[in-house]
Amino acid sequence: MTLQDLGWRESLAESFAQFHTQGLRTGRVSIQHRDLYHLLTVEGEIEGIVTGRFRHTATHPADFPAVGDWVVFAPTQDDGPVAIQAVLPRRSKFSRMAAGTTPYEQVIATNVDTVFIVSGLDDNHNLRRIERYTMQVWQSGAVPVVLLNKADVCADVAAVLAEARAALPGVDVYAVSGWRGDGVETLGRYLAAGQTVALVGSSGVGKSTLINFVLGRQQMLTHDVRSGDSRGRHTTTHRELIRTPGGAMLIDTPGMREFALWADGGAGESGGRNTDEADGDDTFADIAELARGCRFPDCRHMNDVGCRVQQAVQAGSLDYARVRSYRALAREMSLTSRQTNPARGRADADTKRRTQRAARRSVKRGLRQDGDDDGFPGEA
């Protein structure tokens, strides 16, 4: 097993170099059990806990290792847990707003290339919810792909598929049956060796079933949905990173009851805003910074003359996939702010108004998003 087999990117080499010279190693978080982390390393699976110093210097729950993270640890002689000293920079970060006395950012998965947004074509299908997930995935720095699962129980798959594709320009949408395997082979393009794919969506939509199909074995626990309303039973209880036989890394997640996704900048208009601004932790802050140096203010960061973003990609210091997400987000933000869709009704006019405000601020602040995702419907 090499680091590349676990999804390592050359862009991490620079940050890791200082630790490497001190004899420290790196591994990827596959599971978190409270304070104990399972790590995948070139030498196999080990356990780790963060050092007292780490705990002390962490200022926020989101600073702690999350599933998908590359962490730095000191090797040990005995077989106790290793000491995790640092988390390497995340190339993407998918968070939700965790409920509590004060809402805080809970990191769901990091260093993800593609997020499969899974929806069930039984009674679970909700296009508005999928649109919101899509938006948030773009913001996380990963690329969203929508899977309309349980195609085997849907009477008119073609119609639902056409509707979803029309609503989600620039997003790949597929109808699949993770249970029968229909359409799953087309997902191979996202599952190449070294790619990391997270699956999100309500409980019972079939995330774990899809993963089992791809793995070719019944590894993840699955459970039938409630008859009547197709709601799931929260079968998966923790996030987990699993390597497929083809070498992709899949992250299974529990269906979320309240899916209030976190947007950089805080917990919403009323509270917690600006918490992340001080440490400049935006997903695209580095690209936005480069973009300010492009020769033309309307640079599309493609083949434009004098484009600093493309120069960084050529130089190998910037991941092209992130540039794609950055461009897609910019496009989607300007699209949403111009589009009027009378069919959407009142609730969505409200969402649109908030999105427009966010878009305006993003432009001003270099694509910085603030949290205005309070419109997520509760789900179970």
Ligand X SMILES: Nc1nc2c(ncn2[C@@H]2O[C@H](COP(=O)(O)OP(=O)(O)OP(=O)(O)O)[C@@H](O)[C@H]2O)c(=O)[nH]1
Binding site for ligand X (CB under 6 A): 149-150, 152-153, 177-179, 203-209, 222-225, 232-236, 254-255
Nearest distance, CB of residue 263 and Zn ion, angstroms: 24
Angle CA 80–248–190, to nearest 5: 150
CB of 274 to Mg ion, least distance (A): 35
CA dist 302 and 327 (Å) reads 9
Return the number of the residue (21 or 303) whose C-beta is nearest Zn ion: 303
List the one residue from 41, 208, 325, 355 that touches Mg ion (CB under 5 A).
208
Residue 164 interaction partner, one of Zn ion, ligand X, Mg ion, none, beta carbon < 5-8 Å per kind: none
Which residue, 119 or 362, has its beta carbon nearer to ligand X? 119
Residue in 353, 354, 376, 380 with CA at minimum distance from that of residue 129: 376
Q: Which does 204 bind (CB under 5 to 8 A by kind): ligand X, Mg ion, Zn ion, none?
A: ligand X
Residue 207 CB, shortest distance to Mg ion, in Å, is 5
* Amino acid, res. 212: N
Kindly report the number of other CB atoms within 10 A of residue 119's CB atom.
24
Q: Does 299 bind Zn ion (CB under 5 A)?
A: yes
Residue 294 interacts with, from Mg ion, ligand X, Zn ion, none (CB under 5-8 Å by kind):
Zn ion
* Among residues 107, 187, 205, 294, the one that binds Zn ion under rule CB under 5 A: 294
Residues 317-376 that bind Mg ion (CB under 5 A): none
Q: 16 vs 94, which CB is nearer to Mg ion? A: 94
Nearer to ligand X, 103 or 254 (CB): 254
Question: In angstroms, what is the minimal distance from the CB of 226 to ligand X?
Answer: 10
Q: At what angle do helices 127-140 and 345-364 cross, to 10 degrees?
A: 10
Interaction between residue 322 and Zn ion (CB under 5 A)? no
Q: How far apart, in Å, are the Cα atoms of 81 and each of 28, 49, 67, 78, 365?
A: 14, 6, 17, 9, 42
Please tell me the distance from the alpha carbon of residue 107 to that of residue 67, in angstroms, as a whole number: 8
Question: Using the 8-state DSSP alphabet, how is residue 88 labeled?
Answer: P
Of residues 222 through 281, those in contact with Mg ion by CB under 5 A are 235-236
CB of 235 to ligand X, least distance (A): 4
Q: Residue 14 has what DSSP assignment?
A: H
Look at phi and psi of residue 316 and say left if phi exceeds 0, alpha if psi is from -120 to 50, else beta.
left
With CB under 5 A as the contact rule, which of the stretches 89-97, 239-247, 267-275, 307-315 interacts with Zn ion?
307-315
Q: CB of residue 295 vs Zn ion: minimum separation in angstroms?
A: 8
User: Contacts from 21-25 at CB under 8 Å and sequence distance 24+?
Assistant: 23/74, 23/75, 24/72, 24/73, 24/74, 24/75, 24/85, 25/72, 25/73, 25/74, 25/75
Burial zone of 42 (CB within 10 Å; 0-12 exposed, 13-18 middle, 19+ buried): middle
262: Cα within 13 Å, side-chain hemisphere: 27
Q: What x-and-dash track marks residues 332-361 binding Zn ion by CB under 5 A?
A: ------------------------------
Residue number, 230 or 236, with CB nearest to Mg ion: 236
Nearest CA among 39, 183, 193 for reference residue 113: 193
Q: How many chain residues touch Zn ion (CB under 5 A)?
A: 5
Which entry of Mg ion, ligand X, Zn ion, none binds 299, CB below 5 to 8 A by partner kind? Zn ion
Q: How far apart are CA 276 and CA 62, in angstroms?
A: 10
CA distance 173 to 188: 14
Residue with smaller CB distance to Zn ion, 101 or 303: 303
Query: 206 touches which of ligand X, Mg ion, Zn ion, none (CB within 5 to 8 A by kind)?
Result: ligand X
Enumerate binding residues for Zn ion (CB under 5 A).
294, 299, 301, 307, 309
Enumerate binding residues for Mg ion (CB under 5 A).
207-208, 235-236
